[in-house]
Structure 1
Amino acid sequence: MKTKLAASKKVGLKVIFDANFFFIPIQFNLDIFEELEKLLKKRYEPILLSSTKKELQGLAESTSTKTSKQALNAINLVEKCSFVPVEKSSTETYDDVIVRVATESKIPVATNDRNLRKRLRQSGVAVIYMRQKQRLVLDGSV
């Protein structure tokens, strides 16, 4: 089930986005795309895995009005990302897919999920996350 992220015509580094990362602009009024470019000091290509898109769609159909509304706003942001189809086995969680793809491809991940960040760092994958509700930070090297 190895996933290859094809070389793209866009210049720069690839960064896989976790679903919760798309909630930052809604919750904290921070432009994640602009802030990420400032942090990395270079152009980058935001990557949306098919499993993450499915997760966002599931959240949009949530019974919680707040979660549903935030997920619908997040889905609008995914238009700025390059879509990468990946396979998800029935035993894998959405986070498992991100860890697998990021580890195989050596691509940093943007997430605010503390447990996912820990798993990624243990696998040697760089992680970008929000700190103090106002800025993005990089843990690891790209």
Structure 2
Amino acid sequence: MAARWSRNCELNRSIVVLLDTSSLMAIFQTGVDLVSAAKDLLPGRVRFIVAEDTLVELRRLMKRKSPSVSKAAKAAMKFAEGLEVVKCQSKRGDAAIVEVAKKTGAIVATTDRGLRKQLRDLGVPVIYPRKGKRGEIEGFHNLL
């Protein structure tokens, strides 16, 4: 599995980062910007993608009665519309993120601790918030 992520790091290629719903929402709800963190932490070009299920989840959140959640989901959806969307095989939530990460060899950006642990156990590199609004990466340095 490690070879897949190390191939992703060749100098002439982009490093692919998969944004989950929590990472997109955090930008607009709390100011935690894992997109900027990824650009700062990773060498070379970074390309961002989203799972198809993430867009479904954002649409569902846009219909929430909470104005803050709805507003953040709309902003996150607008941001995500400019990204490459990767289809999933009928999996939902965390399972979709795991599937897309395995399929694409992407590093996953998330604020979800449970998902982070699951990805760590599978050997998938993760970008997550640490100490306020700063991002940190785990599982990537071993592959360089």
Spell out the pairing of 1:38-117 with structure 2 (5 A cutoff).
38-88=40-90, 92-117=91-116
List gaps (5 residues or longer) in structure 1. 1-9
SS in 2 for 1:67: helix
State how far apart, in whole Å, the 2-side matches of 1:107 and 1:29 are.
23
Equivalent runs, 1:21-36 vs 2, <5 Å: 21-36=23-38
Corresponding position of 2:127: 128
Unaligned runs of 5+ in 2: 1-11
Deviation string, structure 1 residues 24-49 (Cα, Å, up to 9, x no partner): 22233354433311110221110111
CA contact (8 A) 1:60 1:67 kept: yes
The structure-2 alpha-carbon separation of the partners of 1:137 and 1:45, relative to structure 1 and needing over 3 Å to count, comes to same
TM-score normalized by structure 1? 0.81
Once the 2 structures are TM-superposed, how far is the Cα of residue 11 of structure 1 from its aligned partner?
4.1
Any conservation in 2 of the 1:26–1:70 contact (CA below 8 Å)?
yes
CA distance in 2, matches of 1:105, 1:84: 9
Equivalent position SS for 1:122: helix
Deviation, structure 1 residue 74: 0.9
Letter in 2 for 1:139: E
Among all aligned residue pairs of Structure 1 and Structure 2, give the percentage whose two residues are the same amino acid: 32
Contact 2:124 2:139 in 1 (8 A): yes
Task: Give aligned pairs, total.
Answer: 130
TM normalised by structure 2 equals 0.80
